[in-house]
Chains A and B, each alone.
Chain A
Amino acid sequence: MEQIMDNKLMNLTLKIWRQKDAAAEGELKSYALTGVSPDMSFLEMLDVLNEQLVAKGDDAVAFDHDCREGICGMCSLMIDGQAHGPEKAVTTCQLHMRQYKDGDTITIEPFRAKAFPVVRDLCVDRSAFDRIQQAGGFCSVNTGNAVDANSMLISHDTAEKSMDAAACIGCGACVAACPNASAMLFVGAKVSQYALLPQGQPEREKRALAMRAAMDAEGFGHCTNEYECEAACPKEIKISNIARLNREYFRATLISE
C-alpha cells in the first residue's frame, strides 16, 4: 500500500542557472517537468529533463556527476539555497525526489565562490582544491621508501580520528555553504589527517604554513565560525578540524624557522 502511494508521479517547476561559459552572463531559467517519480534520484530527475531538452533540440543542462553513490565528490548543486539539497549527510546524487511533493518549485544554482568559477551552467571549476593540495597535502615519501607497515604503531583512536578527517570527498559543499566562501573545513580536514598521524610529523609545520598560504591565494573567504560548512558536509567532517588547523597554523608560525 505504502509503495503505491509513494509512486505517485509529480509535476515540478525547476529554476535552473544557465550560463554558457565562464565569460558569459548567466540567468535562472524556468522549466516545467512532468512525471517525476519519487524513486528517482535528483540527478536522474535532471537526466530526464536533459533527455527531453535534447529531444527538442535544446542544449542540455550541464552538471557535474560521476559515481552517483556519494563518494567521488564530483556532484555539487545548490538546491533551494542548500548545498547538496535539504538532507543531512547526503550528496546531491543520493538525494531522492521523494523529498519533494507535487507542484514544488526547485531553484538549482551552481556552487558559488570566486575560487570556483562557473565553467558552464551548474558546473564549476574546483581546481583550487587541487592547488591547495599541491602546496602541502601529502607526505613526501617516494615509492619504495616505505618501511614495514607495522613498524609504526598508531593507536586505534588516532587512526579513527584521522580517518574521520580523511573521509572528505573534496566536493566543495563547505565552500558553497559558507556565507564567506571559506575553504577552512576542506583545508582543516586535510591538515588534520596528517597532523594526527606520525607519518605527517616531519612536514607538519611546513604543511600548515603552505596550505594556509595556498588557500588564501585562491581567494577563499575567512572563516567566521558560522558552522554552515559542517552542516552541509555530506561526509560530516567536523569543525574541530578547523580548530586544529588554527592551532597548527599558529604553532607553525611560532616554532618554524
Chain B
Amino acid sequence: MKLDSKVPSGPIEKSWDKHRFELKLVNPANKRKFKVLVVGTGLAGASAAATMAELGYQVETFCVQDSARRAHSIAAQGGVNAAKNYPNDGDSIWRLFYDTVKGGDFRAREQNVYRLAQVSNNIIDQCVAQGVPFAREYGGTLSNRSFGGAQVSRTFYARGQTGQQLLLGAYSSLMRQVGLGTVKLHTRREMLDVVVVDGQARGIVCRNLVTGESETYWGDAVVLATGGYGNVYYLSTNANGSNVTATWRAHKRGAAFANPCYTQIHPTCVPVTGEYQSKLTLMSESLRNDGRVWVPKKKADPRNPQDIPEEDRDYYLERKYPAFGNLVPRDIASRAAKQMIDEDRGVGSTGLSVYLDFKDAIARIGEPKVREKYGNLFDMYHHITAENPYERPMRIYPAVHYTMGGLWVDYNLMTTIPGLFCLGEANFSDHGANRLGASALMQGLADGYFVLPYTIGGYFAGTKLAKVTTGHDAFKEAVSSVNARTQRLLKTGGKTSPSALHRKLGHIMWDNVGMGRTAKSLNTALSEIPALREEFWKSVAVTGSGEEFNQTLERAGRVADFLEFGELLAKDALTREESCGGHFREEHQTPDGEAKRDDDKFCHVAAWEYKGEGKPSERHVETLTFDNVHIAQRNYA
C-alpha cells in the first residue's frame, strides 16, 4: 500500500486554487450519468449529498436513523469557527490555520488545514443563506464569541444548539433535492459492506433495519460520512447509535485506518452514577471560566463538600498550573482529574468525579449573574443529578467526546480504495492529534459543501469506470459475507446481552487506553480485547431473527466491530511512543506533565492496512512536514 497524499506543491495560500484548477472537470451534461452513494447524513454527509445533487450528480443517501435530520452532529453545542474577522480582533485565515495546526499538536497536514481555514468563511455565508438563525447583535450583524481558549472571537453560534441548526440547514438543502428528485433517501439502513469491483468502490450492502433484508446499491463512487468511533469506550458523549461499523467494514475491504489512537476526552461531563449508565452528557467547558475545580485533600473525605473548609481542599489545577489555572486545555484538565481519582481522592458515591465549585463566583458576581451566564447548564445538571449546583458544588468527570483518527484520506478526501471517499469525523484529516473547540462543525461542512463536490469531479473525469450493476459477483460475495455474519450472530446461543459485552469492552478501553496510556496498560488491553472478542462470539445473546426489525442484532453487529477495532486502537497507541494532543503516553511527558512529542520519530500519520482475519495489520507512514508553522512544544504551566 502506498500513501500518496496528493498534496499540491507550491505556496500554501495558492495550493487549493491550484489544485482546483488542475482537477479535471466533468461536463455539466455528463454529471447526471454519475451516481454517488452517500452513507451518513450528518453535517458532512448531508451537505455533500445536497451539493453534489445541485451540481447534477445522481445521489442516494443512507442513514441508520429514522430521518436524515437526526445524525449526532445535531448535538454539538458550542459553535462553528470561521476566519471572518468580523470583530476586527486580528483574526485571519492564516491565524485560524496556525491555531488549528498548533492545537492539533503538529500532527495534521498543513495544506488540508489551510484549505479548511480558507473555506470556513464560505460556510458561514452558506449557512446564513439557508436561513440558519445565528445569534445577532442589536445592529443586525452576526455575533461572535471566543471559544475553547481561542484568543480571538471567531465562533459563530445559534444559542447552545449550533450543531442542530447547521445540521437542519444541511438537511433542508438535502430535503429540497429529495423533493426535486435528484436525491433518493434511504433511512433506517445500516451499511454493512463496501463493494469493490476491479479495485474501485462501486457499491454498498445495507441492512434494511425494518425488514432485515440485505440490500445492494451500485454507484460510481461511495462516500462515507459516518462519524467517529468514541463509543468503543462504551460510555461517551456520542449518541447511542454512533458506531465504527461502516468505516471498519471499509477498512477490511482495503481502506487504511489512520491514527485511531487520537481520541479527545472532554473534562466537563456529568459523571457516571451506576452500571446502567448508557451515556455521558457534556456540559460546556465555558463552566471552567468561573468554576474552580477541587478535590478534598484527605482521601475518601466523608463530609459534604459545603462543609469542607478551604484548608482541606486541593484546587489542584490552580496548584499545578498557576498561569492557566482552571482554564488549561481539555486534555490537561482531563488527565489531572484522572490523577486525583487514581489517588482515591475522587468524590461522589462512585468516587468517579471531582468538584467544580461556583461558590466563589457566586460570592464575587452574585447568583443572578451566574444564573444569567450558566443558567441552562445548571438546570441541565440539576435535572440529571437532582443536585442543586447553586448550593452544592457540581461534580464533573471527563468523557470521550471526539475522535480525531479515522479512515486515511488524501487531499481529495479519497481513501486508499479508489472511489471510496470519507468525510467529517469519520476521516482523520484536519485536526491532527487534538481538535480545537468549534472546529468539528467547520470541518464536516467544509468537506461536504466545499471540498468533496470539487474533488469527486476530478475523480470521475480522470477515471475509467466500467458499467457495473448489483448483479455483479462482487455484490453477491459481499451479500453472502454479510448474511453469514448475521447468521453467526444469531446462532451463538449465548446468554449475555450485546450491551453487557460492550460495557466490558468499555471498561478495558477506558482503564487501559483512556486518558493516560502506558506500554503496560496497552499490552493489557491487547491481551484482554481478543479474549473478550472470543467470549463475545461464544456468549452473545441475540434474540429474534434476521428478517425483522431487530435492535439487539444491530447492537451486536456494532459491538462485534468495536471488539475488532478496539484492538487496532490500542495497537496504534502502543506503537506511537510519544505523547501528542489527545494521545498521552505516561512514559513521554515533560517535567510539568505536558505531552512530550517525539518529532524525530513520530512526525507522521500512521495508517493501518488490514491484512486479513487473524493477521497483524501493517503500519504505513505518511511523513508530515511543517513549512509554514514553526513546530514547537505546547506549554501551559
Contact = CB atoms under 8 A, between A and B. Distances in A.
Interface stretch (B128-136, B365-373, B517-525, B629-637): B128-136
B541 A197 contact: no
Interface stretch (A55-63, A174-182, A222-230): A55-63
Contact of B125 (A54, A74, A146): A146
Interface string B287-306: 00000000000000000000
Contacts of A200: 131
Contact of A68 (B168, B171, B279, B550): B279
Contacts of B500: 51
A114 interface: no
B380 to A, nearest CB: 8
Contacts of A158: 136
A155 B349 contact: no
B309 interface: no
B239 interface: yes
Contact of B179 (A59, A125, A134, A167): A134
B54 to A, nearest CB: 4
Interface size range of chain A in the complex: 35 or more
Given A55-B495, A59-B544, A96-B383, A47 B172 contact: no
A216 B331 CA distance: 52
A238 interface: no
Interface string A93-133: 01010100000000000000000000110010111011001
B28 to A, nearest CB: 13
Given A65-B240, A199-B129, A170 B278 contact: no
A173 B43 CA distance: 25
A27 interface: no
A142 interface: yes
A162 interface: yes
A199 B128 CA distance: 8
A60 B500 CA distance: 14
B541 A54 contact: yes
A50 B541 CA distance: 12
Contacts of B125: 146-149
A82 interface: no
A152 B548 CA distance: 50
B551 interface: yes
B34 interface: no
B553 to A, nearest CB: 10
Interface in B485-500: 495-500
B281 interface: yes
Nearest to B168: A166
B96 to A, nearest CB: 16
A143 B386 contact: no
A155 B136 contact: yes
Interface in B529-566: 541-544, 548-552
Nearest to A125: B66
Contacts of B65: 66, 72, 74
Given A133-B175, A152-B128, A67 B75 contact: yes
Contact of A53 (B164, B168, B496, B543): B543
Interface size range of chain B in the complex: 35 or more
Nearest to B165: A166
A143 B128 contact: no
B548 A170 contact: no
A245 interface: no
Contacts of A54: 497-498, 541-543, 552
A71 B277 contact: no
A170 to B, nearest CB: 6
- Identify whether the interface residues of A are mostly helix, strand, loop, or mixed: loop
A32 interface: no
B349 A64 contact: no
Contacts of B23: none
Interface string B161-174: 10011001001110
A138 interface: yes
A154 B141 CA distance: 7
A255 B67 CA distance: 34
A57 B497 CA distance: 10
A21 B212 CA distance: 12
B128 A39 contact: no
A92 B290 CA distance: 31
B497 A138 contact: no
A80 interface: no
A143 B133 contact: no
Nearest to A47: B278
A163 B159 CA distance: 8
Nearest to A64: B66
Contacts of A123: 66, 549
A69 B142 contact: no
Interface in B106-124: 122, 124
A71 B74 contact: yes
Given A55-B541, A59-B550, A150-B84, 15 more contacts: A3-B349, A21-B548, A44-B278, A68-B281, A71-B161, A72-B74, A94-B383, A133-B172, A140-B176, A141-B129, A143-B449, A154-B136, A163-B165, A193-B133, A199-B130
5 contacts: A68-B240, A73-B74, A120-B548, A137-B172, A199-B128
Interface of B: 47, 50-51, 54, 65-72, 74-75, 84, 86, 122, 124-142, 158-159, 161, 164-165, 168, 171-173, 175-176, 178-179, 185, 187-188, 210, 237, 239-241, 273-274, 276-279, 281-282, 349, 383-386, 449-450, 453, 495-500, 541-544, 548-552
Interface of A: 3, 6-7, 20-21, 37-41, 43-45, 47-48, 50-51, 53-55, 57-60, 62, 64-69, 71-74, 90, 94, 96, 98, 119-120, 123, 125-127, 129-130, 133-135, 137-150, 152-156, 158-160, 162-163, 166-167, 169-170, 193-194, 197, 199-200
Closest 4 CB pairs of A and B: A153-B140, A134-B179, A146-B129, A146-B125
